[in-house]
């Protein structure tokens, strides 16, 4: 089953402008907002706003083929794009989704947190695009 709500993904035309919203309007300390990085394989730039219990993931299109371009054409100012839940094992989760009749959109691939992820089609979750993310393994001392 799903565990923590890892993050809410918000697609924006400009990550730098969106960082300013969380910093200047909502008072998130600058050091709680991560540097912007690129994930060329997924056609996105991203940064995280770290809250006490979860994260906002800001995503901006990277390249003409970015899967976010279509979303921003429909929502030019940006908007909520997906919700990400943690799972213990991404392959087990993928198999569960398939057995239960949901449409998995990709083979497990490495996501923004460095662990494998899948996306489940919005039609299977009341119109919401769901990301499932294998939780990072605990560090061993």
**Phi, psi dihedral angles at 42 (to 5 degrees):** -105, 0
Per the annotation, the verdict on 73 as an active-site residue is no
Q: 17 near 29, Cβ under 8 Å?
A: no
Mask for 99-128, x = binds its own copies (CB under 8 A): -x-x-------------------xxxxxxx
Q: Which of 18, 112 has the CB closer to its own copies?
A: 18
Catalytic residue selected from 57, 60, 86, 131: 131
Smallest separation (angstroms) from its own copies to the CB of 53: 5
- Cβ-proximal residues to 140 (8 Å cutoff; 6+ apart), any chain: none
Smallest separation (angstroms) from its own copies to the CB of 118: 13
Q: Which of 62, 72 has the CB closer to its own copies?
A: 72
Q: Which two tokens stand for residue 70?
A: 């279509």
Beta bridge partners of 133: 86, 117
Residues belonging to the active site: 131
């Amino acid at each position: 089953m799903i565990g923590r709500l890892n993050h809410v993904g918000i697609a924006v035309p400009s990550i730098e402008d969106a960082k300013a919203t969380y910093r200047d309007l909502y008072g998130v300390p600058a050091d709680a907002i991560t540097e912007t990085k690129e994930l060329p394989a997924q056609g996105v730039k991203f940064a995280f706003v770290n809250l006490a219990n979860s994260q906002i993931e800001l995503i901006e299109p990277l390249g003409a083929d970015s899967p976010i371009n279509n979303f921003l054409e429909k929502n030019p100012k940006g908007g909520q794009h997906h919700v990400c839940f943690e799972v213990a094992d991404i392959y087990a989760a993928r198999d569960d989704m398939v057995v239960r009749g949901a449409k998995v959109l990709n083979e497990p691939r490495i996501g923004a947190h460095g662990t494998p992820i899948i996306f489940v089609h919005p039609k299977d979750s009341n119109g919401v695009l769901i990301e499932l993310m294998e939780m990072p393994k605990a560090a061993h001392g």
